[in-house]
Amino acid sequence: MNTMNIATVDLNLLKVFEALHEESSASRAALRLGVTQSAVSAALRRLRELYGDQLFVRTGRGLAPTLKANQLKPVVSEALNKCRQSLAMVDPDADHYDGRSVTLGLSDDFEIAYGRRLIEEIALCAPGLRLIFRQTHSQIVAQALMERSIDLAITAGGFAERLLSRQVLGEGIYQCLVDPASLAEGQHSISLEEFVAREHILVSSGGFIGITDAGLAALGLSRRVSASTTHFAALPYLLKGSQAVATIPAHAAQSIAALSGLALLPCPLDLPRYPIELGWRTSTQLDPVVLKVREAIVASFARAQ
C-alpha cells in the first residue's frame, strides 16, 4: 500500500465502507446512502486501492468482509460516529438517525420476549434508526463488546470485564413448557416426581448442564436430558408431540407459550432468581445514538416490571 496523506483521501469513502460492511450488498448500500450502485462500485475500487486489500469478496450470500475489513470496521465506524456526534452538538434537535444502526447483543430468549417492544420503543424515540439484534450469551458477551462487534448487550450476567459498565434491568424466574396434550385434563402444574420422570429438553450454549441440574442435585435427584439446543426458538418443534419438558427463563416461556400453544407451568424446583443486565463499553464520550438506545431499553424494561 502506498503512503497516504489524509488530505488526499475522500472521506466519503468511509461512509461507503461502513454501509457495505453493514449491508453486505452494493445495491443495499447504494439505497441506504442515496446514491447509484455504480457509484458504490466505483468507491469500492478506490477503497481497495487505498487499503491495498480486496475488503469485500462476493459470495452466494452477498459481499463478505475480509479479515482486513473486519479489523477496519470498528475504527471507521468510531471515526464516523465522532463526526455525527459533532453535528449533534451544534444541532441537538436535528434528526441524525437515518442511516444509523445500533447493534444489540442478546440471546434469543431476550429477543423473543422483548424484541418487538424494543423495536417499537426505538421507532418512537429515534425514528429512522435500525436496531440490529445479534446472537450472544453470557460466556461471550464481554468479548463481543470489547471487540466492538456489538454496541450494547442484554444478558443474565457476563459483564465482569472492568472496562464494561452495566445496569440491572430486572430479575427473572424459571418456568416450564410442555405439550398440553401430555397433561391430564385440568392439570395446571407438575409435581417434582413427574418433572423428574419426564424427558427434558435443555437449552444451553454448552449443551451439557443447566441450572435445573444444579437444583436437582441439591435434592439428590437427576434428570434425563434427551436433547439440547442453543436456541429457545426451537422449543415448540422439539416439545410438540412428546412428553418432554423444558425449564427456561419465564420471559421467554411466556412469549413462546403465547404464540405456540404450549402449556406454561410453574417450575416445581426452587431455582434462584437471576439478574437481567444491560452492558456497554465504559466511555466518557458515549455515542449519543447508542446512549439514546440505552435509555430506551431501560425505560422499556421499567414499564414492563
Taking a C-beta distance cutoff of 8 angstroms, is the pair 293, 122 a contact?
Answer: yes
Which residue do the cell numbers 430479575 mark? 171
Burial 165-191 (b: 16+ CB within 10 A, else e): bbeebeebebbbbbbeebbeeeeeebe
- Which residues are registered as beta bridge partners of 58? 63
User: What's the pLDDT score for residue 98?
Assistant: 73
Which residue do the cell numbers 439478574 mark? 275
User: What's the pLDDT score for residue 78?
Assistant: 82
Which residue do the cell numbers 413462546 mark? 256
The answer to whether 7-81 and 174-272 have equal CATH topology is no
All residues at 6 or more sequence positions from 264 whose CB lies less than 8 Å from its CB, including other chains: 175, 176, 177, 253, 254, 257
Q: Which CATH number fits domain 7-81: 3.30.110.60, 3.30.450.20, 1.10.10.10, 1.20.20.10?
A: 1.10.10.10
User: What's the pLDDT score for residue 284?
Assistant: 54
For each of the chain's 305 residues, which pLDDT tens digit applies? 455 677 778 888 999 999 899 888 899 888 888 899 999 999 999 999 999 999 999 988 889 999 999 999 988 988 887 787 777 667 655 556 777 789 999 999 999 999 999 999 999 988 888 899 999 988 888 888 888 888 899 998 767 777 888 899 999 999 999 999 999 999 999 999 999 999 999 998 876 788 899 999 999 999 999 999 999 999 999 999 999 999 999 999 999 999 999 999 999 999 999 899 999 988 756 677 888 899 999 998 988 76
Q: And the C-alpha cell for 213?
A: 441440574
Q: Tell the CATH superfamily of the 95-172+275-304 domain.
A: Periplasmic binding protein-like II (3.40.190.10)
User: What's the pLDDT score for residue 305?
Assistant: 65
User: What's the pLDDT score for residue 72?
Assistant: 92
Taking a C-beta distance cutoff of 8 angstroms, is the pair 289, 125 a contact?
Answer: no
* Domain residue ranges in the chain: 7-81, 95-172+275-304, 174-272
User: What's the pLDDT score for residue 172?
Assistant: 92
Torsion of CA 96, 23, 115, 231, to 10 degrees: -160
Tell me the residue length of the chain: 305
Please tell me the CATH code under which domain 174-272 is placed: 3.40.190.10
- Which residues are registered as beta bridge partners of 101? 130
Angle of helix 250-260 relative to helix 108-125, nearest 10 degrees, comes to 90
- Sign of torsion over alpha carbons 32, 35, 37, 38: negative
pTM score: 0.71
